[in-house]
Amino acid sequence: MKKISIAILIAVTTYIYFSLADNASDSIETTHHRPTAETKLTKDKEPEEGNITLSVMEKIIKKDEEKIKNPDIFPENKKYGELNEKDFVDANSFTNVFVLENDIVSKDALKRFFTIENVHELIYKVKSIPPTELSETREYQLTQMLKVFKDTHYYAESYACAGKICAMSFNYDELNKEELAEFSHFSENYTFTNATVNEFGEKQLKAVYIATDDPSQLTVR
């Protein structure tokens, strides 16, 4: 009788082992992409106790959630709007975000800049890019040109230049459009500005100035 019981126990154990192995194999074959933090597990069928696939999915989702909550722990995940760390490596990499081939300006890059909530954080990041002769010259010219704002009452200003790109933002009570137009001539530029109300109810101007030899040849795509 003992021999029969042992034989049955071995058979049951063997069945459970291969059943789990088959489940794990099926999971690998049907998983074609890494799930994000928004990935939701199907609830059509309640997972059985000891389900290997569920355990792996939970670990992946938990790690992705940590990346979103703690971007500083995962530097490659740090974003400024839709810009990543690699876009701030040097002046050329930042310029290439906005300027495509044949001096065509990227519409998507402009949209990302003008819709980012904390634009001051992005501009601060631009300041960390190693300067070039071009960027230093343009930033000096921009600084000198701020004196044209006599009837424009602005505050909380921030600005930085890297490569061909100068980015600026300030809050204001009154904005003189003629002064703003004059300011854009601190150098030969493609000029893009956007006036909005920020999350604190303050009027805010965001601007991007892109160096060019001929502002009349602007093409945006």
Give tens-digit pLDDT for 188-197.
999 999 999 9
Does 128 score more than 90 pLDDT?
yes
How far apart are alpha carbons 146 and 102 in whole angstroms? 31
Per the CB < 8 A criterion, the answer to whether 167 and 159 are in contact is yes
Does 63 score more than 90 pLDDT?
no
pLDDT given at position 161:
98
Q: Which residues pair with 162 in a beta bridge?
A: 165
Q: If you ran DSSP here, which 8-state letter would residue 213 be given? A: S
Q: The whole model's pTM is what?
A: 0.64
pLDDT given at position 90:
96
pLDDT class for 80, splitting at 50, 70, 90?
A: low
For residue 35, give Cα distances in angstroms to 42, 72, 136: 13, 21, 43
**Mean pLDDT, residues 52-58:** 38
**Mean pLDDT, residues 121-127:** 95
Phi, psi at 184, each rounded to 5°: -65, -15
- Express each pLDDT in 158-183 by its tens digit: 999 999 999 999 999 999 999 999 99
Per the CB < 8 A criterion, the answer to whether 78 and 84 are in contact is yes
Does 50 score more than 50 pLDDT?
no
How many beta carbons lie within 10 A of that of residue 33, not counting itself?
6
pLDDT given at position 82:
64
Does 64 score more than 50 pLDDT?
no
Domain ranges (residues) in the chain: 100-217
Look at 189 and 2; give whichever has higher pLDDT.
189
How far apart are alpha carbons 191 and 207 in whole angstroms? 7
* Of the candidates 167, 161, 175, the residue with the CA atom closest to the CA atom of residue 191: 167
pLDDT given at position 75:
42
Assigned token pair, 167: 């980015």
